[in-house]
Amino acid sequence: MASLFEQDIQTLKGVGEKRAKLFHKLGVFSVGALLRYYPRSYEDWSQPFTIEQAPFGTPCAIRAVVLHQPVETRIRKGMTLYKTSVTDGMRDLHLTFFNNPYILNALSEGKEYIFYGKVTGTLLRKEMSVPEFYPIASAPSICPVYRQTEGLSSRMISNAVKNALALLPDQIKDPLPHDIRMQYQLCELGYALEQIHFPDRMESMEIAKKRLVFEELFTLQLGLLQLKYRKKQDTSLPPFIDYSKEFFHLLPFHPTNAQKRAIAEAMGDMTSTQNRSPMSRLVQGDVGSGKTAVAAALCYSVIKNGVQAALMAPTEILAQQHYTSISNMLKNTGISIGLLTGSVTPAKKRKLIEQLQNGSIQLVIGTHALISDAVAFQNLGLVITDEQHRFGVAQRSLLAEKGNHPHMLVMSATPIPRTLALIIYGDLDISILDELPPGRQKIETYAISSRKRPRALQYIRTHLDEGKQAYIICPLVEESTNDMASVEQYAAALQTETFPDKVIGTLHGKMKPKEKDAVMTAFANGEIDVLVSTTVVEVGVDVPNAVIILIENAERYGLSQLHQLRGRVGRGNMKSTCILVSDAQNEEAIARLKILCSTSDGFRIADEDLRLRGPGDFFGEKQHGLPDLKIANMAEDMEVLKEAQSAARYILANDPKLALPEHRGLKGQVKLLFSVFGGQGFH
Ligand code: ADP
Ligand code: MG
């Protein structure tokens, strides 16, 4: 027999075929799903105002007696008004309803009700339009508000939930194990469901919410961790010896503590004699935090252990830059390094592949040319991918497949709050470079209105005249996929009106990778003075001579993205400037730009971004890869997420497949949450 939770929504009293269809629109098919259809917000009906004291314009509750039966007026075809007045003994309030004949019988003269709505009108004549109401005896203290759909109001949903709750037995099976509930002080499921929908007090709603948020994140973590464990297969590589200390002596600088820590964590994965699964680690570090040196240290160390290493970058120019700087770091070590990109001649390429096969090249740096079929290694031990957000998981693993379960390191320059990273990169361990090398100059950042643009351009001119370069990030075109027009127009105007004597280059999303690479290279070589671009401008490319970036319509971007863009300058030791142009008037937008002016800490900015705009920006398209959460909010529930994660680890340590009978409920929850993937792997 199907349990109550699995029963069709239509089995509920008051839900017929037609209404069931409306529930389906909201994604609610079963009674269980209805009980998990949590309110969006609550109305506090428990402390009604007097009419005199009720605030204007914000929804509130008022307790009052109906003065006369509602009066019906047909004002035109299809529009009937119902009017009545109510009083609290001191003052009157005028109510209006539209097209709702039910009002005629629902409100009776002389009876007392609680009305909930917005007070409008004037101080002398207060009004309320279409209030919600309940007779005083049956008025809720706190009223749930549900996301509704046409034909299915919040009130109807609330009634259906009430019916469903009434069917719940006293003792319902709780998927959360008892000891987990005790340890994290979480209430029982039955209480939680009741109080999340119809709280006695706001405090009890909070208690219910805490449990439900925990349960959801716990389920999410159980699923993600299961995926992660499943993926790991033992490597045939021997435990390595750590030679990274030796490498440090080759550097012209002292590694930062953060670099040392990240290297030690990665080496820990590769030297372990206990854990034989290959490393899969993400190194996250702000622009300029020195990820290249981390990569080089690891390459050096594994190559000393007799295996090969490969580093893949998303573009030719990035591969080229890595090749140059890593060759430089490793120049006196005897390690042979190859560069493999699309523009290498076929003859050279053949030779290179041969050398990779016979092991005479120990480190290869390249673009996705590295994953072409022809490429094979003698003994690939470490795979590093840079700026991974451009490579899908699939591409990463294609390169890894060229070895026998090699170690894998992913480098990302997008600071993401740690807790979010744990979710997005559920399959990777994480090291964070949260420290910049000493002596880095802060990029001076200013927010200006467009009135001051001429002055900003003048400022750019003085720098161009000294032989420096600048980036300009062009305005976004509303609703337009044609960023080319916007860039070309802007550049043309700049050329004729402002910088007739300078070379202006353009970069936009319509260009082929090769064309973009060519422009970037020309800019890096100093052949272009001002690069007008959309946000496609290359992440991670070093143009030390570019010292100013001007960003139009700055308010349109997320803080993290602005921070990324700002990181295009300040790559050398010259003072650099970022100018944010915005005519935004609203306080939030202004506050956001101020944050950027006041800090250069990418992780702090990411945290603020998360707080102000929610996690959407970070998840981007990846969000589709994760199940939808009903109640937990990544931005607000970080603490709970951490708890849920350690609880999930604890459970899986003893029962990796959730096979124990007492974990049956959990297993079901995981399957349900991950049903977007067809519950794949969770059967
Ligand atoms: P990113 O993390 O953005 O890839 P890079 O690896 O390109 O950063 O490093 C940026 C610059 O900082 C390079 O010129 C590099 O040589 C230098 N650098 C890296 N680590 C240190 C350090 N510990 N001390 C001083 N300079 C460093
Ligand atoms: Mg880099």
With helix as H, strand as E and coil as C, how does 283-314 read?
Answer: EEECCCCCHHHHHHHHHHHHHHCCCEEEEECC
pTM recorded for the entire structure: 0.64
Is the C-beta atom of 256 inside 6 A of ligand 1? yes
Query: Residue 47: exposed, middle, or buried by beta-carbon count in 10 A (0-12, 13-18, 19+)?
Result: exposed
Is the C-beta atom of 406 inside 6 A of ligand 1? no
Residue-level pLDDT at 621? 39
Is the C-beta atom of 285 inside 6 A of ligand 1? yes
**Measuring CA to CA, how many Å separate 514 from each of 473, 520, 522?**
21, 10, 12
Of 483, 475, 471, the closest CA to residue 567 belongs to 471
Q: How far is CA 110 from the centre of its chain?
A: 54
Is the C-beta atom of 437 inside 6 A of ligand 1? yes
CATH of domain 244-433: 3.40.50.300
Ranges of residues in the chain whose predicted pLDDT is under 70? 1-2, 227-233, 388-397, 419, 423-427, 476-485, 538-540, 613-628, 634-635, 675-683
Residue-level pLDDT at 613? 67
Residue-level pLDDT at 426? 64
Q: How far is the CA of 365 from the centre of ligand 2 (A)?
A: 13
Is the C-beta atom of 290 inside 6 A of ligand 1? yes
Q: Whose CA is nearest to atom 27 of ligand 1?
A: 437
Whether the domain at 46-139 and the domain at 444-599 fall into the same CATH topology: no
- Per-domain residue ranges of the chain: 46-139, 244-433, 444-599
Residue-level pLDDT at 111? 96
Residue-level pLDDT at 586? 83
Of 67, 103, 68, 69, the closest CA to residue 87 belongs to 67
Cβ proximity of 537 and 531 under 8 Å: yes
Q: In what order do the strands lie in the sheet with 407-412?
A: 337-340, 363-366, 308-312, 380-386, 407-412, 280-285, 429-433
CATH assignment of 46-139, given 3.20.20.80, 2.60.40.10, 2.40.50.140, 1.20.120.450? 2.40.50.140
| Ligand in nearest proximity to the CA of 319 | 2
Q: Whose CA is nearest to atom 25 of ligand 1?
A: 437
Residue-level pLDDT at 632? 83
Residue-level pLDDT at 392? 53
- Mutate which of 251, 292, 435 for ligand 1 pocket (most atoms within 8 A of beta carbon): 292
CATH assignment of 444-599, given 3.20.20.100, 3.40.50.300, 3.40.50.720, 3.50.50.60? 3.40.50.300
How many whole angstroms separate alpha carbon 565 and alpha carbon 319? 20
Q: Whose CA is nearest to atom 17 of ligand 1?
A: 290
- Mutate which of 248, 249, 253 for ligand 1 pocket (most atoms within 8 A of beta carbon): 253
Is the C-beta atom of 284 inside 6 A of ligand 1? no
Q: How far is the CA of 405 from the centre of ligand 1 (A)?
A: 30
Residue-level pLDDT at 173? 86
Q: How far is the CA of 623 from the centre of ligand 1 (A)?
A: 31
